[in-house]
């Protein structure tokens, strides 16, 4: 259930006159979730839900799609002609001049750029200024309840344990001469995730050698490599509890199927760890000083370290992503590479820090941790931090 009072408080604190949730045929899923659009009905025409900073929200629905709203105490506005649509929008706005919509200037934050340019032109033509709803969406959809935070912590602890089990399983199997492959280990891990009372939309990443240099590599029965002594091994695993609103945990660790780690591997790990730790330190220092921290700036703090070490050409993705009920949530990402995410890291939200460097045809190192923002600073929910590549056959 959407807390309209909380949204209106946010609107007033942001000097906004209202929030227009506008959609056509599912192009704006954010609008459908926040407006609580009836899910058992077909909506094939444009619709709008107006949340004013003061007063009662209003629906605007095409005349042939009013049936799902017949039991509301306040009936929706309706339209048939496109001229009626514009007339009713203008009437809904009243004296509003500055409104939020799912829009991002220059599409800098594509996760919230859900309203097409033509609709924005039409609505601007009604005499209002449109600003991005990005921070509103983050405040409504990305902040964790106490129960969600505890569930995330439980999932994080379980994943860390499964990660240790998996490395031990690989080492034992190799010592005993048991045949292993990326896919067989992936399926073994998925079984352990299920046994731990967790679920995941996709199976973990298990990648050896050159496959670890592909950040989104995923083994399948048709695309699979054996795991042998001497191989470099990357594990990326994510999962959440079974509750409908459970929040994901997400970690990545690396190991080597040897009894010692050559310097060329550890050198890459050192650089990635230094970038991760630089992002952590930057966030902690800025928050301790009472300054807002933007996702793009935390990304810069990490990448600057990796670029200074001469590995900038081997960065293939942002530093981190928001965590939510889906693996990638609707909060701020640590990103000034793929997008310019200027949203601040908001109290109550969670995100990953997962820098990586990927040497094509050779190997890749990614070290991923999860972080929760509280009212006074941050909490790393996936301790300990990895600083050394694990020698699995020690």
Q: How far apart are CA 120 and CA 69, in angstroms?
A: 26
- Residues 84-116 have pLDDT tens digits of 999 999 999 999 999 999 999 999 999 999 999
What is the DSSP-derived secondary structure letter of residue 217? Answer: -
**Is residue 212 packed enough to be buried (19+ CB in 10 Å), middle (13-18) or exposed (0-12)?**
buried
Query: Residue 380 pairs with which residues in a beta bridge?
Result: 371
Q: Give 46-109 as a DSSP string.
A: -EEEEEESSS--EEEEEGGG-GGGTT-SSPPEEESSHHHHHHHHHHHHTT--EEEES--GGGSS
Q: What percent of the chain has pLDDT over 70?
A: 100
- Residues 137-170 have pLDDT tens digits of 999 999 999 999 999 999 999 999 999 999 999 9
Taking each helix axis as running N to C, give the angle between helix 4-13 and helix 134-141, from 0 to 180 degrees, rounded to the nearest 10.
140
Average of per-residue pLDDT values in the chain:
96
At residue 327, the pLDDT reads 79
Under the banding of pLDDT at 50, 70 and 90, the label for residue 40 is: confident
- Residues 281-302 have pLDDT tens digits of 999 999 999 999 999 999 999 9
- Residues 308-345 have pLDDT tens digits of 999 999 999 999 999 999 878 899 999 999 999 999 99
Under the banding of pLDDT at 50, 70 and 90, the label for residue 58 is: very high
Average pLDDT over residues 18-30: 96
Phi, psi dihedral angles at 112 (to 5 degrees):
-115, 0
Q: What percent of the chain has pLDDT over 90?
A: 94
Helix, strand, or coil here: 124? helix
Q: How far apart are CA 139 and CA 248, in angstroms?
A: 18
4-141 matches 146-391 in fold: no
The reply to whether omega before 384 is within 30° of 0 (cis) is yes
Q: How far apart are CA 162 and CA 282, in angstroms?
A: 30
Average pLDDT over residues 368-377: 95
Domain 4-141 coded CATH 3.40.350.10: yes
CA dist 336 → 14, 137, 187, 295, 320 (Å)? 24, 20, 35, 8, 10
At residue 1, the pLDDT reads 63
Domain boundaries, the chain: 4-141, 146-391
pLDDT at 269 over 70: yes
**Is residue 236 packed enough to be buried (19+ CB in 10 Å), middle (13-18) or exposed (0-12)?**
buried
Under the banding of pLDDT at 50, 70 and 90, the label for residue 42 is: confident
Least confident span in 20-29, 69-78, 367-376: 69-78
The pairing of strands 249-256 and 390-391 is parallel
Under the banding of pLDDT at 50, 70 and 90, the label for residue 72 is: confident
Structural domain 146-391, CATH architecture: Alpha-Beta Complex (3.90)
Which residues have CB under 8 Å from 204's CB, separation 6+?
Answer: 186, 189, 190, 193, 235, 236, 237, 238
The pairing of strands 18-23 and 356-359 is unpaired
Tokens found for residue 205: 């990443």
Average pLDDT over residues 346-374: 98
Indicate the pTM of the whole model.
Answer: 0.93
Tokens found for residue 312: 């900038």
Helix, strand, or coil here: 25? coil
Under the banding of pLDDT at 50, 70 and 90, the label for residue 47 is: very high
């Amino acid at each position: 259930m959407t807390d309209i009072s909380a949204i209106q408080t946010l609107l007033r604190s942001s000097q906004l006159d209202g929030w227009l949730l506008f959609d056509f045929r599912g192009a704006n899923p954010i609008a459908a979730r926040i407006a609580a659009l009836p899910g058992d009905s077909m909506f094939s025409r444009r619709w709008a839900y107006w949340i004013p900073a003061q007063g009662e929200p209003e629906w605007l629905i095409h005349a042939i799609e009013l049936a799902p709203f017949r039991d509301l105490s306040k009936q929706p506005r309706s339209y048939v002609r496109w001229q009626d649509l514009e007339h009713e929008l203008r009437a809904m706005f009243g004296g509003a001049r500055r409104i939020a919509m799912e829009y991002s200037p220059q599409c800098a934050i594509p996760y919230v750029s859900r309203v097409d340019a033509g609709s924005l032109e039409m609505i601007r033509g009604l005499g209002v200024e449109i600003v991005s709803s990005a921070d509103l969406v983050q405040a409504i959809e990305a902040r964790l309840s106490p129960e969600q935070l505890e569930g995330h912590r439980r999932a994080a602890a379980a994943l860390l344990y499964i990660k240790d089990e998996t490395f031990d399983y690989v080492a034992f199997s190799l010592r005993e001469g048991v045949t292993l492959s990326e896919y067989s280990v992936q399926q073994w891990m998925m079984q352990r995730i299920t046994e731990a009372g967790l679920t995941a939309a996709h199976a973990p990443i298990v990648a050896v050698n050159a496959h670890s240099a592909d950040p989104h590599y995923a083994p399948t029965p048709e695309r699979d490599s054996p795991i042998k002594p001497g191989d470099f091994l990357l594990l990326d695993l994510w999962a959440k509890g079974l509750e409908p609103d459970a929040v994901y945990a997400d970690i990545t660790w690396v190991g080597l199927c040897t009894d010692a780690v050559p310097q060329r591997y550890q050198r890459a790990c050192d650089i990635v760890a230094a970038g991760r730790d630089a992002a952590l330190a930057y966030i902690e220092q800025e928050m301790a000083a009472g300054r807002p921290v933007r996702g793009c700036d935390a990304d810069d703090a990490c990448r600057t370290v990796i670029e200074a070490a001469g590995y900038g050409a081997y960065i293939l993705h942002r530093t981190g992503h928001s965590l939510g009920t889906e693996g990638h949530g609707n909060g701020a990402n640590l990103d000034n590479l793929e997008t310019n995410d200027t949203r601040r890291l908001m109290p109550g939200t969670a995100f990953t820090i997962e820098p990586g460097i990927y040497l094509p045809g050779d190997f890749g190192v990614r070290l991923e941790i999860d972080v929760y923002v509280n009212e006074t600073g941050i909490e790393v929910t996936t301790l300990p931090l990895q600083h050394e590549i694990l020698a699995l056959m020690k």
